[in-house]
Amino acid sequence: MSTNEYFPGINKIEYEGPESDNPLAFTHYDEDRVVAGKTMKDHFRFAVAYWHSFCNENSDPFGVGTRQFPWDKSSDPIDNAKFRLDAAFEFFTKLGIPYYCFHDRDLAPEGSNVAESEKNLAELVELAKQKQQETGVKLLWGTANLFTHPRYMNGAATNPDFRVITHAAAQVKAALDATVELNGENYVFWGGREGYMHLFNTDMKRELDNMGTFLRAARDYGRKIGFEGTFLIEPKPMEPTKHQYDFDAATVIGFLHEQDLLDDFKLNVEANHATLASHSFAHDVMLAAQSGLLGSIDANRGDNQNGWDTDYFPTNLYDAVEVMLILLEYGGLAPGGLNFDAKLRRNSTDPEDLFHAHIGGMDTFARGLLIAEDILNNSDYKKLRHGRYTSLDEGKGKAFENGKLSLEELRDIAAKSGEPELQSGKQELLENMINRFIR
Ligand code: XUL
Ligand code: CO
């Protein structure tokens, strides 16, 4: 632990149980508690997002940042990056969270050229490695920030200027080196500027193919240097770009097929990105899980009154239950995890607010897990859902599913069997059933 404490007066957050009224304790997240055959710690593999928690001062388009960063105390950005690392690991250990995630530029400042940026990152990676060894906190994923610098205004891998593509490659190479050095379990691509502002000036097909080529090169380099984890693409439909190529889970799954990337890539589904694409969080998680491509989750939530990516900390229990039902049915997240890609509100300015935010998110998902397990063990939820499909389980229905019946044969069955009686979807019954378990 550093000699300098950044969160004084806050001790290690402990589990105190549902009756506790201590706001700096967990009421449901009990990391060693075994649920459905795994500890809570292993179910979630919770992570802190370095950028929101330690780099984002909560500025918005109308105002400067409001958060005080006691670790920004030097005029030298490298010194500040080191202080920030101390603060981050103090927070991780006090919170008792097992993982963190970063962008290259969160960890170390960009230099004045490629070599200097690489050197800055390598210096901070060495220190992060020591911190990981001292604390046992691990890296869930690393990524490269290919959206902040002005050079990326027309995209990174999809930029029409080859020179920009090479800079993106340099950053991804260094971020992969960092991820491998820190034993990162996954590597994320979020293409905030991979998309277009207008089709008038865009060759969409060429840009999409270049994105595939770029990802294959990154994959090959990662495997060459010994990265054994999963590469993840994080869908988002828009913001900052008007149209982003990785629009939603379905679009990315199609892209992975087309670009022959399915052996190495999965999806990092983010709640507020799914809702921006007019889906629900559960929809994109389900789509990825049923395709065997759910890699990891960025947990947060949007706002019913606002359309944009608000990145609220997730406290919606209903969402958590829906998603935990899917994770329990489809085998969970590992080697991915649940990263709090969420930020404090602009007017949440006390250091302890960062604890409240994470405690709330962890407890929400822990409750969601307990409720989902209860539903799966003690209700007819699965039976009712499956029951709607029994006509496809045997006989001609099964033959259809196996592709054994022609369109003419299907027509003849319809003609012979007459009008089917209506079968209720039972939605209200199911919704009431789920609500009865949320207690
Ligand atoms: C932006 C977003 C990113 C990615 C990592 O909306 O979610 O923070 O998770 O680049
Ligand atoms: Co994210």
Sign of CA dihedral 209, 214, 216, 219: negative
Which ligand 1 atom is the nearest neighbour of the CA of 236?
Answer: 6
Using the mean position of ligand 2's atoms as its centre, give its distance from the Cα of residue 429 in Å: 35
When pLDDT is averaged across residues 110-131 and rounded to a whole number, the result is 98
Nearest ligand for residue 106 CA: 1
CA distances from 56 to 15, 176, 281, 306, 312 (A): 28, 23, 24, 21, 14
Using the mean position of ligand 1's atoms as its centre, give its distance from the Cα of residue 341 in Å: 7
Decide if pLDDT at 88 tops 60: yes
Residue 3: predicted pLDDT = 60
Catalytic one of 103, 167, 273, 279: 103
Q: Which domains does the chain have, with CATH numbers?
A: 14-378 (3.20.20.150), 381-437 (no CATH)
Residue 62: predicted pLDDT = 95
How far is the C-alpha of 153 from the C-alpha of 146, rounded, in Å?
9
Using the mean position of ligand 1's atoms as its centre, give its distance from the Cα of residue 164 in Å: 20
179 lines ligand 1 (CB under 6 A): no
Q: Is 260 exposed, middle or buried (0-12, 13-18, 19+ CB in 10 A)?
A: exposed
CA distances from 137 to 36, 176, 327, 340, 379 (A): 24, 19, 24, 15, 38
* pTM tops 0.75: yes
> What are the tens digits of pLDDT across the range 274-302?
999 999 999 999 999 999 999 999 999 99
**265-270 and 14-15 as β-strands: parallel, antiparallel, unpaired?**
unpaired
190 lines ligand 1 (CB under 6 A): yes
| Residues 143, 210 contacting (CB under 8 angstroms) | no
Catalytic one of 30, 86, 104, 106: 106
Contacts of 419 (CB under 8 A, 6+ apart): none
194 lines ligand 1 (CB under 6 A): no
Residue 439: predicted pLDDT = 87
Q: Which helix (H) or strand (E) holds 430?
A: helix 427-437
Pocket test of ligand 1: the residue of 56, 140, 143, 298 to mutate, having most ligand atoms within 8 Å of its CB, is 298
Output DSSP code: residue 54. I
> Whose alpha carbon is nearest atom 3 of ligand 1?
190
Nearest ligand for residue 298 CA: 2
234 lines ligand 1 (CB under 6 A): yes
Q: Which helix (H) or strand (E) holds 415?
A: helix 407-417
Q: Does residue 86 carry a catalytic annotation?
A: no
Contacts of 40 (CB under 8 A, 6+ apart): 29, 30, 31, 32, 33, 366, 369
User: Among residues 210, 206, 215, 212, which one has the least CA distance to residue 187?
Assistant: 215
> Whose alpha carbon is nearest atom 8 of ligand 1?
341
Which ligand 1 atom is the nearest neighbour of the CA of 52?
Answer: 8
> What are the tens digits of pLDDT across the range 2-43?
468 999 999 999 999 999 999 999 999 999 999 999 999 999
How far is the C-alpha of 298 from the C-alpha of 169, rounded, in Å?
24
> What are the tens digits of pLDDT across the range 167-185?
999 999 999 999 999 999 9
Which ligand 1 atom is the nearest neighbour of the CA of 49?
Answer: 8
CA distances from 344 to 67, 223, 397 (A): 9, 36, 52
Decide if pLDDT at 220 tops 70: yes
> What are the tens digits of pLDDT across the range 354-372?
999 999 999 999 999 999 9
Residue 364: predicted pLDDT = 98
Using the mean position of ligand 2's atoms as its centre, give its distance from the Cα of residue 439 in Å: 30
Question: What tokens does 249 get?
Answer: 């889970």
Decide if pLDDT at 197 tops 70: yes
Residue 193: predicted pLDDT = 98
Using the mean position of ligand 2's atoms as its centre, give its distance from the Cα of residue 382 in Å: 31
Using the mean position of ligand 1's atoms as its centre, give its distance from the Cα of residue 190 in Å: 6
Q: Does residue 103 carry a catalytic annotation?
A: yes
Decide if pLDDT at 1 tops 70: no
Q: Which helix (H) or strand (E) holds 142?
A: strand 138-143
